[in-house]
Amino acid sequence: MTNANHPTRALFDEVMVPTYNPATIIPVRGEGSRVWDQDEREYVDFAGGIAVSALGHCHPALVGALNEQANKIWHLSNVMTNEPALKLAKQLVDSTFADKVFFANSGGEANEACLKLARRYAFDKFGEKKNKIIAFKQGFHGRTFFTVTVGGQPKYSDGFGPKPGAITHIPYNDLETFKATIDDETCAVMIEPLQGEGGIIPPDAEFIQQVRDLCTQHNALLIFDEVQTGMGRTGELYAYMGLGVTPDILSTAKSLGGGIPIAAMLTTNEVAEHFQPGTHGSTYGGNPLVCAVANKVVELVNTPQVLSGVKAREQWMREGLNQINEKHHIFTEVRGKGLLLGAALKPEYQGRSREFLMAGIECGVMVLVAGPDVIRFAPSLIIPREDIEEGLARFEQAVAKVMDA
Ligand SMILES: *Cc1c(COP(=O)(O)O)cnc(C)c1O
């Protein structure tokens, strides 16, 4: 039973700013795709800490990398560079379109860097009138004031005073509206190459290709927010690789650190040179401790075995979810790519996704939501098949529970 000296969920309401409403259980330990709470109850983890724990919990190689670096040096600041940051940047450059890397600590911060760089590039090259940013409804890019304003849910950016300007939101996958919106004053288009928080919405092939072509035509930079889709999540190292469309700037975070807070902005030489010493920065960005761990994550994920393993696991997840649906008839479809999957609820269950998450916890499986109408799955990229099967069996119990409620 819970040790009387352990902090409880009630303490959260006492001492934490109420930005969240966490579940009543408190996990204390994890191994692979299993997690244990204060009462030693065990859960199958289909959530991965919101698409973060790419190699599960406490992967021995990551624990090793962390411990090794912990005994060397933790932090220097960017007054000096460090070996793990250089190695990580080299790995990222060698395996993507990018020539240059900027490190940040979270997805929102990486996106903030992307947007500032795009604005500065346009300002330097074309003058101050080229400042328009096009983004998409239901898109999510982080919680800094710039990124949350570029994000496509006004309720997250309203009520904080004057917003950063010259940002237009249009519907995702709506090519005609996009064509009518982009012009020579557009400096950047920011898009998720598969909308995550917005409900697991994949892009149409024709749409994303045309977005690329029109950006090139209008000298607008194409920014791919791959914070959620990146680092193997879709079965490609980055989702752009599976789409055959290359951005000018890309942000990556979440899976990149496997649970350690790190993010990066990737771009080309031509764009990168518009940031100079002093234009942008971060005290912690590229800190040796986090980079040492991320180096190991990239090394382990960026292999044909792990990436093709993601595709195999996608099939197992889809088959299991489809079987549950054949019995219970609750989803309209299962969509997404790799291990970023969404089960869209039928109209009669819409608005109730959180009930499935909570019922999942009661039944011993952790899942996510993507808005009120979609249940999201983002497990470890190397989750064992038996954990997928056990997790799905528990999820089916959770479904039955919600249906009986
Ligand atoms: C999670 C997420 C972010 C924000 O990342 P933080 O690390 O929370 O700042 C930005 N963009 C996308 C697509 C995300 O999924």
Q: For 22-36, what is each residue's pLDDT tens digit?
A: 999 999 999 999 999
Residues 6+ apart with CB under 8 A from 146: 112, 115, 116, 164
Q: Is 224 in the pocket of ligand 1 (CB under 6 A)?
A: no
Residues 6+ apart with CB under 8 A from 307: 232, 235, 236, 237, 301
Q: Which atom of ligand 1 is nearest to the CA of 50?
A: 1
| In the predicted structure, residue 1 carries a pLDDT above the cut 60 | no
Q: Is 275 in the pocket of ligand 1 (CB under 6 A)?
A: no
399 annotated ligand-binding residue = no
Q: Is 192 in the pocket of ligand 1 (CB under 6 A)?
A: yes
Burial label, 5 (beta-carbon count in 10 A; 0-12, 13-18, 19+): exposed
Nearest Cα neighbor of 132 from 196, 175, 198, 178 is 178
Span 341-349, average pLDDT: 98
Nearest Cα neighbor of 61 from 378, 294, 305 is 294
Q: For 87-101, what is each residue's pLDDT tens digit?
A: 999 999 999 999 999
| In the predicted structure, residue 187 carries a pLDDT above the cut 90 | yes
Q: Which are the catalytic amino acids? A: 140, 225, 254
- Shortest-distance Cα residue to atom 5 of ligand 1: 107
Nearest Cα neighbor of 261 from 295, 289, 290, 282 is 290
- Shortest-distance Cα residue to atom 11 of ligand 1: 141
Q: What is the mean pLDDT of the chain?
A: 97
Q: What is the DSSP letter of 333?
A: E
Residues 6+ apart with CB under 8 A from 336: 194, 200, 202, 342
Span 333-347, average pLDDT: 98
45 annotated ligand-binding residue = no
Q: For 276-292, what is each residue's pLDDT tens digit?
A: 999 999 999 999 999 99
Nearest Cα neighbor of 335 from 202, 140, 195 is 202
| In the predicted structure, residue 2 carries a pLDDT above the cut 60 | no
Q: Which atom of ligand 1 is nearest to the CA of 261?
A: 7
CA-based torsion, 272, 189, 261, 120: positive or negative? positive
Segments making up each domain of the chain, as ranges:
9-58+304-404, 72-301
Q: Is 230 in the pocket of ligand 1 (CB under 6 A)?
A: no
CA–CA separation, 7 and 41 (whole Å): 17
226 annotated ligand-binding residue = yes
Which pLDDT belongs to residue 405?
A: 86
For 249-288, b/e burial (b = at least 16 CB within 10 A) is bbbbbbbbbbbbbbbbbbbbeebbebbeeeebebebbbbb
Q: Which atom of ligand 1 is nearest to the CA of 263?
A: 7
Q: Is 141 in the pocket of ligand 1 (CB under 6 A)?
A: yes
251 annotated ligand-binding residue = no
Assigned fold of 72-301: Aspartate Aminotransferase; domain 2 (3.40.640)
CA–CA separation, 239 and 234 (whole Å): 6
Mutate to test the pocket of ligand 1, among 228, 282, 368 (most ligand atoms within 8 A of CB): 228
Q: What is the DSSP letter of 347?
A: G
Q: For 117-164, what is each residue's pLDDT tens digit?
A: 999 999 999 999 999 999 999 999 999 999 999 999 999 999 999 999
Q: Is 248 in the pocket of ligand 1 (CB under 6 A)?
A: no
CA–CA separation, 243 and 340 (whole Å): 15
Separation of CA 384 from chain center? 22
Q: Which atom of ligand 1 is nearest to the CA of 139?
A: 13
Q: How far is the CA of 261 from the centre of ligand 1 (A)?
A: 12
Q: How far is the CA of 53 from the centre of ligand 1 (A)?
A: 14
283 annotated ligand-binding residue = yes
Query: Which tokens belong to 121?
Result: 């590039």
Which pLDDT belongs to residue 146?
A: 98
- Shortest-distance Cα residue to atom 15 of ligand 1: 228
CATH class of 9-58+304-404: alpha beta
pTM: 0.98
How far the first Cα of the chain sits from its last, in Å, is: 28
Q: How confident is the model at residue 5 (pLDDT cuts 50, 70, 90)?
A: confident
Query: Which tokens belong to 21?
Result: 């409403």
Span 283-308, average pLDDT: 98
DSSP 7-54: --HHHHHHHS-TT----S--EEEEEBTEEEETT--EEEESSHHHHT-T
